[in-house]
């Protein structure tokens, strides 16, 4: 499979000034490299503070990296001009843990989905509406609620709406930053299914950023484990989970809560 | 601490400096000057006028005049008044003292009343007492300061309970120190009442909003869940948490009360900066105007500086923020 | 053994502008044994947070308790006066709220916040209170307890804040601790640490605990008994092993099946569709009568639409609210 995104030696430093003395530097990303194949899912797992969210915002072009290269379709996002970034950003969409704060609660659901299209200004009003309704259906929201304000949605519906809005611009990569973590278990399963279905039908590429190894194992083809700004282990999901090589991975695995130590007894289902 | 303090202080100084330039520009660029009226007088020769203008340096270019004015500020004179034929600073100081007395008393009183009223109202959000307070502050809010002051004056004249002007009785000099204070207090009552009433609605509403927000904060519910007594909860938990917006409002309220005070002084003939400035503006006695503006700015900046210091002292988050910046 | 806390037929509703009264808990009953960890499992809308708040009568202004009883140490807390209630809050029953970043006062040092809880329940000298505070902090923080006690919440990590909240809760040696999603905002490693603390506290102090969560996996190996809430009703209640290994209620079954397989479980194929519960439990989609789960239930019968399901006892302690199990 050809790589759609190639990250090379990505470094992100934050200045962190203290009370006295010279400003200290905080290394959020320490020479991170990986490639992402088109149509697959790479999970980035790690504890809080390991740098996974910084990585997400660098890849989504929300923050410029301090150094390193971000190759996406022949463009280096790390050195691209703001003008170029405006053209690239629609192709890499970011989904947040709980989109409540990124959705204007008074707008109707239809307006929220159609907004990116209005901004782009390529389609007529009718075309926009057709597209918005087909996206609603695509993510499993009924057309009846299209005119309701976003404030009335439940957590799962909000996440569906956020996905629909991200899809309006036909992105190639979805960066899912803890997109399932804030949801109830039964809703998590619904959204996970939706994402898997979108991937197989549209051939989308996912960067699945999470601290939940169980979900990472379920969703991803490959897993990269981060710790202190570095990728300490990267490989096919099955291998990482079966024979973890690094201490950070073992710690994460040990902390995963499990419904039952043994596989769930099938007879009692 | 020192860095935060110094930074805020330098901001304040910068503000005062900037305002002085603007005040200087605007007053000198305004059409006309002090001697324009004399020019219409045929008995004064144009040569005399030119000499006068030269004496007061009105014929020199603006930057030079500003420089010489700055110089006189540093010497504690703040320029020269044409009308009083004396340095501005001592003239200004006498009046400023009266204005400051009025403003500080009014600020203090307004807050003493607004704080408990706002807290009380917030605790009963949407219930009858809260509605009464919200209603009456709304009514107060729409009455212009001027109408309020005039209404109070009418009230004083009708009842004869309060003096209607000035800040001392005729026989002030012969009174004992205690009687002097009493006399001053009686004279202050009307202007202070007008100021407090004009500032109160805004303060009460802000206190109410700030406290109401904190009252529903999770940490307050948590503290209540830990059995913290209600009194402690209000004083030691709610007020410190609501302090941030309230202290900013405190700085602002000083400014609002000062500008309100200038108006009220004119209406109630309080011998402060208000009537003095008005007279100077009408006569184009520019250095007094500039001095008055400058003084108000300093007072305002000092008030905001005080609010910043209190905030720094009360809110640890600001301390960390300012340290990491 | 006598229970330490007993909830009987608790009814709680919220008033809102559109709807005069919306029931959130309808007839919840259970008891808590001394030293027991009771896991309350429910998703959003199940009323689990309302349950935590109503035991100590800390409901928001638009919430009211329509009926029932909360029996604790021989008294009904729903009828207690303010002073009695205040003494119980934090003194005998302590609450740990979710979101440690929001449940701590932002401008007070965490040590001071613990000291004030102590001071609210005992009139000791300043020195003694300071000593007690230090003792509590050194129990929860192995190193630099003093530095953390002197810190403000924003200077601490999520895990440290959560420990500070626990410090407040255990300050007065309560008999019962109610923890509402105490680990939801933490990453798995910190989460495992906090669960370890709860376990050791139960052993050391013998306190009973109601642990409220939306994540079934957290309760495995942690809770003694599990109560499943759905739309404000207890649908299943029983010993943890029994409920987790052989869930009986259709909702519990479907919920557990919708979980992705454990990461170590390498035999499972990945990236497959998970079996989901169709529909949602939002208030607008709940039926007006009959079983609340009926619209989403794969095993529904005609009777479910008409009548409320009975509580059926399966064995000694396992209770399920479903017509399927009625004899």
- Mark which residues 260-319 of B lie under 8 Å from C by CB: 314-317
pLDDT per residue over A34-69, tens digit each? Answer: 999 999 999 999 988 888 989 998 998 888 899 999
Instruction: Give CA B220 to chain center in angstroms.
Output: 35
- Calpha distance B149→B192 (Å, rounded): 10
- Contact with chain C for residue B217, Cβ under 8 A: yes
- Calpha distance C287→A23 (Å, rounded): 60
- Calpha distance B137→B126 (Å, rounded): 15
Strand ordering across the sheet containing A230-236: A92-95, A173-177, A205-210, A41-46, A222-227, A230-236
- Mark which residues 110-169 of A lie under 8 Å from C by CB: 154-157
Q: Are C189 and C162 in contact (CB under 8 A)?
A: no
Q: Report the DSSP beta bridge partners of residue B193.
A: none
Q: Report the DSSP beta bridge partners of residue C321.
A: C311
Question: What tokens were used for B271?
Answer: 């011998």
- Count of CB atoms situated within 10 Å of the CB of C127: 8
Question: Which residues in chain B are closer than 8 Å to A24, comparing Cβ atoms?
Answer: none
According to the model, what pLDDT value does residue C1 have?
66
Question: Which residues in chain B are closer than 8 Å to A15, comparing Cβ atoms?
Answer: none
- Count of CB atoms situated within 10 Å of the CB of C179: 25
Q: Which residues contact A215 (CB under 8 A, 6 or more apart)?
A: A180, A188, A192, A208, C260
Q: Which residues contact B178 (CB under 8 A, 6 or more apart)?
A: none
Question: Which residues in chain A are closer than 8 Å to B323, comparing Cβ atoms?
Answer: 17-19
Q: Are C12 and C55 in contact (CB under 8 A)?
A: no
Residues from A contacting B (CB-CB < 8 Å) are 16-19
Which chains would you list as touching A if contact means 3+ CB atom pairs under 8 Å? Answer: B, C
According to the model, what pLDDT value does residue A17 have?
55
Q: A225 in the Ramachandran plot: left (φ > 0), alpha (ψ -120 to 50) or beta? A: beta
Q: Report the DSSP beta bridge partners of residue A93.
A: A174
Nearest to B299, CA basis, from B270, B242, B261, B264: B261
Q: Which residues contact A102 (CB under 8 A, 6 or more apart)?
A: A96, A162
- Contact with chain C for residue A212, Cβ under 8 A: yes
- Contact with chain C for residue B320, Cβ under 8 A: yes
Q: Report the DSSP beta bridge partners of residue C211.
A: C39, C179
Residue indicated by tokens 């607004």? B114
- Count of CB atoms situated within 10 Å of the CB of C21: 12
First to last CA, chain A: 39
User: Long-range contacts for C26-29 (Cβ within 8 Å, ≥24 apart)?
Assistant: C26/C232, C26/C233, C27/C68, C27/C233, C28/C68, C28/C229, C28/C232, C28/C233, C28/C234, C29/C68, C29/C234
- Contact with chain C for residue A251, Cβ under 8 A: yes
Nearest to A170, CA basis, from A143, A134, A214: A134
- Calpha distance A136→A129 (Å, rounded): 10
Q: For chains B and C, count residue pairs whose Cβ atoms are closer than 8 Å.
A: 84
- Calpha distance B222→B17 (Å, rounded): 48
Q: Report the residue from A197, A217, A252 with minimal CB separation from C270.
A: A217
- Per-residue H/E/C for B92-113: HHHHHHHHHHHHHHHHHHHHHH
Q: How far is A192 from chain C (nearest CA, A)?
A: 8
* pLDDT over threshold 90, residue A23: no
Question: What tokens were used for C27?
Answer: 């007839």
Q: Report the residue from B125, B227, B237 with minimal CB separation from C105.
A: B237
Nearest to C225, CA basis, from C234, C213, C209, C237: C237
Count of helix runs (H) and strand runs (E) in chain A: 9, 10
Residue indicated by tokens 């300061």? B145
Question: What tokens were used for C240?
Answer: 């943890």
Nearest to A99, CA basis, from A13, A161, A46, A144: A161
Q: Report the residue from B221, B222, B316 with minimal CB separation from C152.
A: B316
Q: Are B99 and B291 in contact (CB under 8 A)?
A: no
- Calpha distance A131→A146 (Å, rounded): 13
Question: What tokens were used for A17?
Answer: 């000034």
Instruction: Kindly give the parts of chain C with pLDDT less than 70.
Output: 1, 265-269
- Calpha distance C120→B228 (Å, rounded): 5
Nearest to B254, CA basis, from B96, B116, B119, B106: B106
Contact A256 C188 (CB under 8 A): yes
Q: Which of A42, A97, A257, A265 to mutate to test the interface with C (most CBs of C within 10 A)?
A: A257
According to the model, what pLDDT value does residue A16 have?
63
DSSP calls for A183-201: S-HHHHHHHHHHHHHHHHH
Question: What tokens were used for A180?
Answer: 């399932």
Q: Which residues contact A42 (CB under 8 A, 6 or more apart)?
A: A34, A36, A206, A207, A208, A220, A221, A222, A223, A224
Q: Are B311 and B247 in contact (CB under 8 A)?
A: yes
Residue of chain A with shortest Cα separation from B2:
A19
Q: Are C109 and C150 in contact (CB under 8 A)?
A: yes
Instruction: Give CA B3 to chain center in angstroms.
Output: 28
Nearest to B221, CA basis, from C4, C49, A155, C73: C49
- Calpha distance B281→B33 (Å, rounded): 10
Q: Which of B216, B218, B219, B232 to mutate to test the interface with C (most CBs of C within 10 A)?
A: B219
- Give the C-alpha distances (Å, rounded to integers) separating B237 from B113, B220, C294: 20, 7, 46
Angle at B216 between CA B214 and CA B219, to 5 degrees: 75
- DSSP, res C89: B
- Calpha distance C317→A93 (Å, rounded): 50
Question: What tokens were used for A217?
Answer: 């194992």
- Calpha distance B3→A60 (Å, rounded): 37
Instruction: Report the greatest alpha carbon distance in chain C.
Output: 68
Residue A32 pLDDT class (50, 70, 90 cuts): very high
Residue A264 pLDDT class (50, 70, 90 cuts): very low
Residue A260 pLDDT class (50, 70, 90 cuts): low
- Calpha distance B253→B111 (Å, rounded): 9
Residue indicated by tokens 């010489």? B68
Residue of chain A with shortest Cα separation from C281:
A154
CA contacts within 13 A on the Cβ side of B245 = 16
* pLDDT over threshold 50, residue A262: no
Question: Which residues in chain B are closer than 8 Å to A19, comparing Cβ atoms?
Answer: 323
Q: Are B123 and B215 in contact (CB under 8 A)?
A: yes
Q: Which of residues A110 and B3 earns the better pLDDT score? A: A110
- Calpha distance A253→A244 (Å, rounded): 9
Rounded to the nearest 10 degrees, what angle do helices C110-121 and C126-140 cross at?
120
- Give the C-alpha distances (Å, rounded to integers) separating B297 from B16, B69, B253, B257, B290: 6, 17, 14, 13, 10
Looking at every residue in chain A, the average pLDDT score rounds to 85
Instruction: Kindly give the parts of chain B with pLDDT less than 50.
Output: 324-325
Residue A266 pLDDT class (50, 70, 90 cuts): very low
- Contact with chain A for residue C55, Cβ under 8 A: no
pLDDT per residue over C147-168, tens digit each? Answer: 999 999 989 988 899 999 999 9
Residue of chain A with shortest Cα separation from B325:
A17
Q: For chains A and C, count residue pairs whose Cβ atoms are closer than 8 Å.
A: 136
Question: What tokens were used for C143?
Answer: 């190193």
Question: Which residues in chain A are closer than 8 Å to C296, comparing Cβ atoms?
Answer: none
According to the model, what pLDDT value does residue A20 have?
46
- Look at residue A16 and give its three-state secondary structure: strand
Question: Which residues in chain B are closer than 8 Å to A16, comparing Cβ atoms?
Answer: 324
Which helix (H) or strand (E) segment holds residue A63: the answer is none
Question: Phi and psi at residue C102, in whole multiples of 5°?
Answer: -100, -20
Which chains would you list as touching B if contact means 3+ CB atom pairs under 8 Å? Answer: A, C
- Calpha distance B184→C75 (Å, rounded): 62
Contact C117 B224 (CB under 8 A): no
Q: Given the DSSP bridges, would you call strands A41-46 and A222-227 parallel, antiparallel or unpaired?
A: parallel
Q: Report the residue from C246, C260, C264 with minimal CB separation from A218.
A: C260
- Mark which residues 282-321 of C lie under 8 Å from A by CB: 282
pLDDT per residue over A244-253, tens digit each? Answer: 999 999 988 8
Which helix (H) or strand (E) segment holds residue B20: the answer is helix B2-29
Q: Which residues contact B10 (CB under 8 A, 6 or more apart)?
A: none
């Amino acid at each position: 499979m050809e790589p759609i995104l190639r990250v090379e030696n990505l470094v992100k430093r934050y200045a962190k000034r203290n009370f006295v003395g010279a400003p200290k530097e905080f290394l959020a990303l320490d020479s991170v490299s990986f490639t992402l194949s088109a149509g697959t899912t790479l999970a980035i797992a790690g504890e809080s503070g390991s740098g996974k969210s910084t990585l997400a915002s660098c890849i989504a072009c929300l923050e410029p990296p301090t150094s390193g290269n971000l190759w996406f379709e022949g463009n280096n996002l790390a050195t691209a001009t703001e003008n170029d970034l405006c053209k690239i950003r629609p192709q890499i969409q970011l989904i947040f843990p709980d989109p409540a704060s990124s959705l204007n609660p008074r707008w109707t659901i239809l307006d929220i989905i159609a907004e990116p299209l209005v901004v782009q200004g390529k389609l007529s009003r009718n075309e926009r509406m057709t597209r918005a309704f087909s996206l609603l259906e695509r993510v499993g929201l009924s057309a009846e609620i299209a005119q309701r304000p976003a404030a009335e949605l439940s957590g799962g519906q909000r996440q569906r709406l956020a996905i629909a809005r991200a899809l309006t611009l036909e992105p190639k990569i979805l960066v899912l930053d803890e997109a399932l973590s804030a949801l109830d278990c039964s809703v998590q399963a619904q959204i996970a299914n939706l994402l898997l279905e979108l991937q197989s039908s549209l051939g989308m590429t996912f960067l699945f950023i999470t601290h939940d190894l169980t979900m990472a194992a379920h969703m991803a083809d490959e897993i990269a484990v981060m710790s202190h700004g570095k990728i300490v282990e990267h490989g096919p999901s099955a291998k990482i989970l079966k024979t973890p090589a690094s201490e950070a991975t073992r710690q994460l695995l040990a902390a995963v809560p499990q419904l039952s130590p043994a596989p769930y007894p099938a007879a009692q289902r | 601490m020192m860095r935060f303090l110094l930074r805020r202080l330098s901001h304040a100084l910068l503000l005062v400096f900037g305002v002085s330039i603007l005040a200087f520009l605007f007053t000198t660029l305004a059409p006309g000057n002090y001697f324009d009226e004399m020019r219409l007088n045929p008995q004064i020769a144009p040569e005399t006028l030119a000499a006068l203008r030269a004496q007061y340096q009105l014929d020199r270019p603006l930057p030079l005049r500003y420089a010489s004015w700055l110089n006189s500020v540093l010497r504690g004179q703040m320029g020269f008044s044409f009308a009083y034929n004396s340095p501005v600073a001592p003239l200004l100081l006498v009046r400023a003292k009266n204005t400051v007395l009025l403003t500080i008393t009014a600020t203090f009183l307004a807050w003493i009343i607004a704080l408990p009223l706002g807290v009380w109202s917030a605790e009963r959000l949407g219930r009858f007492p809260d509605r009464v307070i919200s209603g009456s502050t709304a009514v107060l809010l729409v009455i212009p300061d001027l109408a309020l002051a005039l209404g109070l004056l009418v009230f004083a004249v009708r009842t004869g309970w309060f003096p209607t002007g000035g800040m001392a009785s005729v026989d002030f000099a012969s009174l004992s120190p205690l009687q002097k204070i009493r006399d001053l207090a009686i004279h202050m009552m009307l202007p202070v009442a007008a100021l407090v009433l004009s500032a109160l609605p805004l303060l009460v509403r802000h206190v109410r909003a700030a406290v109401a927000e904190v009252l529903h904060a999770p940490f307050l519910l948590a503290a209540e869940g830990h059995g913290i007594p209600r009194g402690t909860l209000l004083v030691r938990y709610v007020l410190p948490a609501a302090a941030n917006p309230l202290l900013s409002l405190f700085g602002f309220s000083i400014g609002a009360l000062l500008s309100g005070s200038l108006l009220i002084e004119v209406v109630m003939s309080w011998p402060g900066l208000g009537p003095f400035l008005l007279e100077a503006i009408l006569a184009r006695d520019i250095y007094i105007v500039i001095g008055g503006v400058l003084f108000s700015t300093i007072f305002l900046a000092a008030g905001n500086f005080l609010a910043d210091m209190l905030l720094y002292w009360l809110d640890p988050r600001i301390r960390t923020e300012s340290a990491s910046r | 053994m006598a229970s330490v806390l007993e909830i009987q037929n608790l009814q709680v509703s919220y008033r809102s502008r559109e709807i005069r009264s919306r029931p959130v808990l309808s007839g919840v009953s259970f008891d808590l044994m001394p030293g027991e960890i009771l896991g309350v499992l429910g998703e959003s809308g199940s009323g689990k947070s309302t349950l935590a708040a109503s035991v100590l009568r800390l409901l928001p202004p638009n919430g009211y308790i329509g009926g029932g009883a909360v029996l604790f140490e021989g008294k009904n807390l729903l009828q207690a006066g303010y002073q009695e209630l205040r003494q119980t809050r934090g003194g005998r029953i302590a609450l740990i709220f979710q979101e440690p970043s929001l449940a701590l006062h932002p401008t007070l040092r965490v040590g001071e916040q613990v000291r004030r809880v102590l001071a609210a329940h005992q009139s000791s000298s300043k020195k003694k209170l300071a000593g007690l505070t230090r003792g509590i902090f050194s129990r929860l923080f192995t190193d630099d307890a003093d530095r953390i006690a002197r810190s403000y919440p924003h200077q601490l990590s999520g895990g440290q804040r959560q420990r500070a909240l626990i410090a407040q809760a255990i300050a007065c040696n309560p008999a019962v601790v109610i923890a509402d999603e105490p680990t939801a905002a933490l990453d798995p490693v910190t989460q495992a640490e906090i669960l370890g603390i709860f376990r050791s506290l139960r052993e050391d102090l013998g306190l009973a605990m109601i642990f409220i969560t939306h994540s079934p996996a957290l309760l495995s190996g942690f809770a003694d008994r599990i109560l499943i809430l759905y739309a404000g009703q207890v649908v299943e209640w029983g010993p943890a092993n029994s409920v987790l290994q052989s869930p009986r209620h259709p909702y519990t079954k479907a919920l557990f099946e919708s979980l992705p397989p454990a990461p170590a479980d390498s035999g499972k194929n990945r990236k497959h569709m998970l079996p989901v519960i169709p529909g949602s439990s939002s208030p607008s989609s709940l039926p007006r009568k009959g079983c609340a789960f009926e619209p989403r239930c794969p095993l529904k019968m005609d009777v479910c639409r008409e009548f409320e399901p009975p509580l059926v006892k399966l064995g000694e302690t396992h209770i399920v609210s479903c017509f399927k199990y009625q004899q």
